[in-house]
Amino acid sequence: NDNNNHHHWTNGSIEDRPTISTLLPDNNMISEFFVISPRGDTIIAKQYRNERGEVGAHERSHTEAFFRKVQFWDQDRDEQAEGGEENKRRKEDAPPVFLMPDGLSYIHVKRNG
């Protein structure tokens, strides 16, 4: 329905669009949902089908890649620093939303307790 008022992210801005197409491929709103432990063990996992009834890539590959990215966020950023200098800034957590090299956006909330 074109009268629905949904939002679509495009290069950091929000515009009114009928679908959310850039968050995940194939016009899915969510392709996977998972809860992982601080050690990286999958506690809960749910995959969603796209409009064609297909399931995306294996959940484990996504959870492992996501876990490594969040755990080593600062290390990845330090390796990208120019001149090989050690970065003296304070340790930072991964942002709540980030884009992975696979082209998927990941949204996360870190909870303790």
Q: Which of 64-68, 85-89, 91-95 reaches the highest mean pLDDT?
A: 64-68
pLDDT tens digit string along 91-101? 688 888 888 88
At residue 3, the pLDDT reads 46
22 pLDDT band, cuts 50/70/90, is very low
Instruction: Determine if the pTM surpasses 0.85.
Output: no
Q: What is the average pLDDT across 79-86?
A: 52
Q: How many CB atoms lie within 10 A of CB 50?
A: 14
> Does residue 47 register a pLDDT over 70?
yes
